[in-house]
Structure 1
Amino acid sequence: MQQLTVLGTGVLGSQIIFQSAYAGKDVVAYDINDEILQKLPERWEYLKAAYRRDIADATDEKLDAAVARIRATADLANAVGDADLIIEAVPERLDIKQQTWEAVAAVAPEKTIFATNSSTLLPSDIAPFTGRPEKFLALHFANEVWKFNVGEVMGHPGTDADVFEQVATFAEEIGMVPIRIHKEQPGYVLNSLLVPFLNAGAQLFVKGIAEPADIDKTWKIATGAPAGPFEIYDVVGMMTPYHLSKDSDDPVMREFAEILKRDYIDKGYLGKGAGRGFYDYQ
Structure 2
Amino acid sequence: MQNLTVLGTGVLGSQIAFQAAYNGKDVVAYDLTDEILTKLEARWEYLKPLYLRDLPDATPEKLEAAVDRIRSSSDLADALSDADLVIEAVPEVLEIKRETWAKAGAVAPEKTIFATNSSTLLPSDIADASGRPEKFLALHFANEVWRQNTGEVMGHAGTDPQYADAVAQFAEEIGMVAIRLKKEQPGYIVNSLLVPLLTAASKLYARDVADFKVIDETWRKATGSPYGPFEIYDIVGMLTPYNLNANSQDPEMREFAAILKRDYIDKGRLGRATGKGFYDYE
TM-score (normalizing by structure 2):
0.99
Distance 2:80 2:211 in 1: 45
Describe the SS at the equivalent of 2:107. coil
After the TM superposition, which parts of structure 1 deviate over 4 Å for at least 4 consecutive aligned residues? none
Amino acid aligned to 1:19? Q
Distance 2:196 2:206 in 1: 15
| Gap runs ≥5 in structure 1 | none
Q: CA deviation at 1:267?
A: 1.1
Q: CA deviation at 1:56?
A: 1.3
Q: CA deviation at 1:57?
A: 1.5
Q: CA deviation at 1:266?
A: 1.0
Amino acid aligned to 2:270? L
Matched, 1:210 2:210: yes
Q: CA deviation at 1:14?
A: 0.5
Amino acid aligned to 1:116? T
Amino acid aligned to 1:11? V
Amino acid aligned to 2:61? E
Amino acid aligned to 1:165? D
Describe the SS at the equivalent of 1:106. helix
TM-score (normalizing by structure 1):
0.99
Amino acid aligned to 2:10? G
Q: CA RMSD in A?
A: 0.5
Q: Which residue in the other structure is 2:276 paired with? A: 276
Distance 2:131 2:25 in 1: 26
Pairing 1:233-248 to 2, within 5 Å after superposition: 233-248=233-248
Distance 1:43 1:79 in 2: 19
Deviations 1:39-79 (A, max 9, x none): 10000011001101111121000000000000001110000
Distance 1:265 1:58 in 2: 33
Distance 2:158 2:223 in 1: 41
Q: Which residue in the other structure is 1:113 paired with? A: 113
Q: Which residue in the other structure is 1:103 paired with? A: 103
Q: Which residue in the other structure is 2:30 paired with? A: 30
Q: Which residue in the other structure is 2:137 paired with? A: 137
Pairing 1:121-200 to 2, within 5 Å after superposition: 121-200=121-200
Deviations 1:135-169 (A, max 9, x none): 00000000000000010000000000100100000
Q: Which residue in the other structure is 1:86 paired with? A: 86
Distance 2:149 2:105 in 1: 29
Amino acid aligned to 2:191? N
Q: CA deviation at 1:218?
A: 0.5
The alignment covers a number of residue pairs equal to 282
Q: Which residue in the other structure is 1:44 paired with? A: 44
Q: Identity across aligned pairs (percent)? A: 70
Distance 2:274 2:103 in 1: 30
Describe the SS at the equivalent of 1:220. helix
Deviations 1:188-210 (A, max 9, x none): 00000001111111111010011
Q: Which residue in the other structure is 1:249 paired with? A: 249
